[in-house]
Amino acid sequence: MTFRRLALLATLLCTPLSGCDLGGEVGHDGQYGFLSPAGLPGTAARPLERLLVLEADGAADRTLYYFFEGDLGKAGIGVEDLRGVASRFSRFEMRFGMPPENYALVDEAEIERATLTLRVDGEPTTLSELSAEELVETGASRFGPSHAAVRVYFGIRPSSAQFSELELDSARGSLAYTPELAATELELTRGADELRVEYGRLSKPDYVEVDLFQPIVRSSDGVELDASLFISLGPEWPAIATNEALDSAFAQGCWSADQPLSVRVSQVARSYTAAPASQPSDLAVIARRLDLTQLAPEQWTRELTLPSLLPYCETFNH
C-beta of residue 101 within 8 angstroms of C-beta of residue 204 = no
Query: For the segment 134-170, what is each residue's pLDDT rounded down to a tens digit?
Result: 999 999 998 876 667 899 999 999 999 999 999 999 9
d(CA 63, CA 120): 11
Q: Point out which residues pair with 284 in neighbouring strands.
A: 51, 272
Most confident of 7-11, 30-34, 84-88: 84-88
* 44 confidence band (pLDDT: 50, 70, 90): low
> What is the rounded distance in angstroms from the CA atom of residue 262 to the CA atom of residue 300?
10
183-235 pLDDT tens trace: 998 999 999 999 999 998 888 899 999 999 999 999 999 999 999 999 999 99
> Which of 57, 15, 39, 47 is closest to 264 using CA atoms?
57
Per-residue burial over 265-283, b = 16 or more CB atoms within 10 Å of its CB, e = otherwise: bbbbbbbbbebeeebebbb
E strand intervals along the chain: 2-4, 6-7, 13-14, 48-57, 62-70, 80-81, 93-97, 115-120, 123-129, 150-157, 166-170, 173-177, 187-190, 194-198, 207-218, 224-233, 239-242, 261-273, 282-295, 316-317
Higher-confidence position of 308 and 109: 308
| Mean pLDDT score of the chain | 85
Q: How confident is the model at residue 27 (pLDDT cuts 50, 70, 90)?
A: very low
Of 32-36, 111-115, 313-317, minimum mean pLDDT range: 32-36
Give the end-to-end CA distance of the chain in Å, rounded to a whole number: 49
pLDDT at 108: 65
Closest-CA residue to 127 (of 181, 74, 69):
69
Q: What is the pTM for the complete model shown?
A: 0.86
Closest C-alpha to 253, from 193, 194, 312: 312
Phi then psi for residue 96, to 5 deg, are: -135, 110
φ, ψ of residue 99 in degrees (nearest 5): -60, 135
With CA atoms as reference, report the closest residue to 8 among 64, 47, 52: 52
How far apart CA 173 and CA 16 sit, in angstroms, is: 44
pLDDT for 181 equals 95
Residue 8: per-residue pLDDT: 29
Which is higher by pLDDT, 262 or 14?
Answer: 262
Query: Where does the pLDDT of residue 293 fall: very low under 50, low under 70, confident under 90, or very high at 90 and above?
Result: very high
> Which pLDDT score, from 0 to 100, does residue 109 have?
66
C-alpha span between 88 and 311 (Å, rounded): 29
Is residue 268 very low, low, confident or very high in pLDDT (cuts 50, 70, 90)? very high
Instruction: Tell me how far CA of residue 117 lies from CA of 113, 122, 296, 298, in angstroms.
Output: 13, 11, 42, 47
The percent of residues above 90 in pLDDT, for the chain, comes to 65
Rounded CA gap, 237 and 309, in Å? Answer: 31
Any idea of the CA torsion for 72, 160, 86, 199, to the nearest 10 degrees? 180
How far is it, in rounded angstroms, from Cα 294 to Cα 289? 17
Question: Are 109 and 36 spatial neighbours (Cβ–Cβ below 8 Å)?
Answer: no
Judge whether 292 and 262 are in contact, CB under 8 Å: yes
